[in-house]
Amino acid sequence: MPARKPKKQTHALWGGRFSSGPHPALEAVNRSIDVDFRLWPFDIALSKAWARALVGARVLKRAEGATMRRGLDRVGRRIAGGAKPIRSDEDVHTLIDRLLHDEIGEVASRLHTGRSRNDQVATASRLLTMDALDRVLAGVRDLQKVYVARASGLTDAIMPAYTHMQRAQPVTGAHWMLAHFWALERDRVRLAAARRSAGVMPLGSGAVAGSAFRVNRPRLARELGFHSISANSIDAVGDRDFMLDALFAISGVALHLSRLAEDLILYGSSEFGFVRFGDAFSTGSSMMPQKRNPDALELARSSPARMGGNLFALLATIKGTPSGYNKDFQDDKRPLFDAIDAMLLLLPAVAGTVRTLKFNRKRMRDAVSGSMMATDLADSLVRSRVTFRDAHSAVGSLVREAENAGVDIGSLPDSSFRAAHPLFGKRARRELEPERSLANREIPGGTGARAVAVQLANAKRSLRVR
């Protein structure tokens, strides 16, 4: 390999102390612009705020600050207009610095006073994370609205609820749909908490010991939309916890989408036939003309693997790094950006899939078999002061008898009921009506019609307040 390249007149933010430029292999491995390019709007915003703060600290003359801010706006317009990085742009900060020199000349060299890419990249990454979490939050909220709308149309649809994927007890379609709503509600709490954890401003920490110029940090934080400033400069440049929080919160959304997806993939199969996927959200098969595939849901089902991988990649990147900034942290962005991108693609696709589902109420209702009301039958004995243990055993014998005879429990003769328990009278069979089972569950959080109406109203309210 050739030795270090002779020093060229490229635009670098460092290099004065070396006799030659970096080896191409080092340059190549060090470059992060392909990944961190998307930080540019945030880097420009923080640079503009920094320029103003430097004026406040009397490092820059007022006119210099104004020139810098105008120049940064022009740089922003150039990048938005398609200006591309060049080979010597190590990262997004170098790119913006180079373009700023292009725009306003030598005065640009004063911008990097009292700051380091260490506090800069931490600040820009936090701004991006807050912005991304806002968009994920909006996407989750949109999906919740779809759930609420679908639940509203299913308040009188009866279907089985499953445990261990075995038919368990009847519920309304609305109750099932809202189960997924509340999972997303918890996600929104976590996403909002992650946003808050990103809202602490590192700028002013310099490389590690704090800036030597007394810029007004609280003011800088307010200007940039942070709720507070970091307490310790060493911690500030080495802290990526906010990214972990964001990745964990996004992983939670992925988990919940995957569970909804699995429900719907099953319900959409011919075996269940509870739902049919809308044309615009189904894909065909290149070979089998009859296919109607729920691809978006399958990708939702796979997404926790990707999100979890990203979360773990960052955990492992941070582990064992010494305090302060380390170049290891440059690898923080790929997992974060990947999780954000994937989630922002997924949310509208899942929302569209759910919005365009067609529910088959008859199939849902037909899947509710008599034995699913076995608990209700036992409960009716308990109301006549039988212990639940004895009631459970009495109904168990009925279930066994029906199973052996290959009939539904409701088709057994009265004599079987009386034999199972003397307190089973003429009206015992009524307990096997799913409507009655639902009506018995008006407990808050239960599947009774009034309880679900309250639940639906609470769901709508939480969309208004958060």
Catalytic residue positions, numbered: 164, 285
Interatomic CA distance for residues 93 and 121, integer angstroms: 8
- How is 251-307 classified by DSSP, letter by letter? HHHHHHHHHHHHHHHHHTSTTT-SEE--GGG-B--SS-TT--B-HHHHHHHHHHHHH
- Near ligand ARG by CB under 6 A: residue from 95, 121, 154, 347: 121
To the nearest whole angstrom, how small is the minimum distance from the Cβ of residue 14 to ligand ARG?
8
* Residue number, 321 or 356, with CB nearest to ligand ARG: 321
Closest CA to 247 of 296, 305, 191: 191
Bridge partner list, 171: 159
SS3 415: helix
Q: Name the segment binding ligand ARG (CB under 6 A); options: 114-122, 285-293, 294-302, 304-312.
A: 114-122
SS3 114: coil
Interatomic CA distance for residues 381 and 418, integer angstroms: 12
* Residue number, 327 or 400, with CB nearest to ligand ARG: 327
* Residue number, 91 or 379, with CB nearest to ligand ARG: 91
To the nearest whole angstrom, how small is the minimum distance from the Cβ of residue 329 to ligand ARG?
5
330 binds ligand ARG (CB under 6 A): yes
To the nearest whole angstrom, how small is the minimum distance from the Cβ of residue 198 to ligand ARG?
16
- The token pair at 80 is 């938005």
| Residue 345 CB-density burial (10 A; 0-12 exposed, 13-18 middle, 19+ buried) | middle
- Near ligand ARG by CB under 6 A: residue from 47, 118, 169, 447: 118
SS3 238: helix
117 binds ligand ARG (CB under 6 A): yes
To the nearest whole angstrom, how small is the minimum distance from the Cβ of residue 87 to ligand ARG?
16
Closest CA to 268 of 176, 364, 153, 346: 364
* Residue number, 327 or 383, with CB nearest to ligand ARG: 327
Q: Name the segment binding ligand ARG (CB under 6 A); options: 40-48, 254-262, 286-294, 327-335.
A: 327-335
89 binds ligand ARG (CB under 6 A): no
91 binds ligand ARG (CB under 6 A): yes
* Residue number, 243 or 368, with CB nearest to ligand ARG: 243
Q: Compute the half-sphere exposure of residue 326: CA atoms within 13 Å on the CB side of its CA.
A: 12
Number of residues this chain uses to bind ligand ARG (CB under 6 A): 10
Which parts of 18-57 interact with ligand ARG (CB under 6 A)? 32, 36
Footprint of ligand ARG on this chain (CB under 6 A)? 32, 36, 91, 117-118, 121, 325, 327, 329-330
